[in-house]
Structure 1
Amino acid sequence: MSKVVNAAVERLNEKIGSFGSTAKFVIEDEGAIMIDGDGARAGDEEAEVTLHASRETFEGILSGDVNPATAFMTGKLKVDGNMGVAMQLGQALS
């Protein structure tokens, strides 16, 4: 697994811990991260919502420099699946 994914898993576990739904972040050219009731981990499984972003956009969302809603509206963050779960995740990352 890439260093980016490993670092993101650590950061997500610090930031949101467990999550009541299932979500997957796909980071272009790096890999995928699953977030669920057990926390964040590297993985590529089925999820209620899948979010796709570049490394730069994803890192910006994690650091708080990029607003997830703005990234979505400008096409830098793509969302497939349950939009309600995506919004819950966005709030957890804020």
Structure 2
Amino acid sequence: MDLQACTEALRAKVGDASGLNATLKFDCGDDGIVFVDGKSIPNSVSNDDKDADCTVGISLDNLTAMLEGDLEPATAFMTGKLKVSGDMSVALKLQRIV
């Protein structure tokens, strides 16, 4: 899955109301950014590089695996496949949207 496909998949999963009530950025390094605005109504997902309440550093391959259900967010964190900076409580809400 490329970045645009991941963005579309997240947009579909987030919908109009994710319950996130925060902003979350998936930073895939050179592959790009996926920004989830769970504060806006309706919620939005874009590829804008904005400041976020929580930033998740993750490879595009691992983000794809999470979105396809092959990698659980908690497992990814425990095995070092994703790194969290910022508000950890936002990262804990990942289960709601992936």
TM-score (norm 2): 0.84
CA-to-aligned-CA distance 1:42-84 (integer Å, 9 cap, x gap): 1111000000111111101111100011000110100000010
- For 1:24, the equivalent position in structure 2 comes to 25
Checking the alignment, whether the CA contact within 8 Å between 1:9 and 1:40 is kept in structure 2 is: yes
Q: Describe the SS at the equivalent of 1:29.
A: helix
Greater shift after overlay, 3-12 or 23-32? Answer: 3-12
TM-score (norm 1): 0.87
- For 1:51, the equivalent position in structure 2 comes to 56
Q: Describe the SS at the equivalent of 1:45.
A: coil
- For 2:82, the equivalent position in structure 1 comes to 77
Unaligned ranges ≥5, structure 1: none
Aligned-residue identity in percent = 38
Unaligned ranges ≥5, structure 2: none
Give structure 1 regions of 4+ aligned residues with deviation exceeding 6 angstroms: none
CA–CA separation in structure 1 for the residues paired with 2:7 and 2:75: 23
Q: Which amino acid counterpart does residue 35 of structure 2 have in structure 1?
A: M
How many residues were matched structurally? Answer: 91
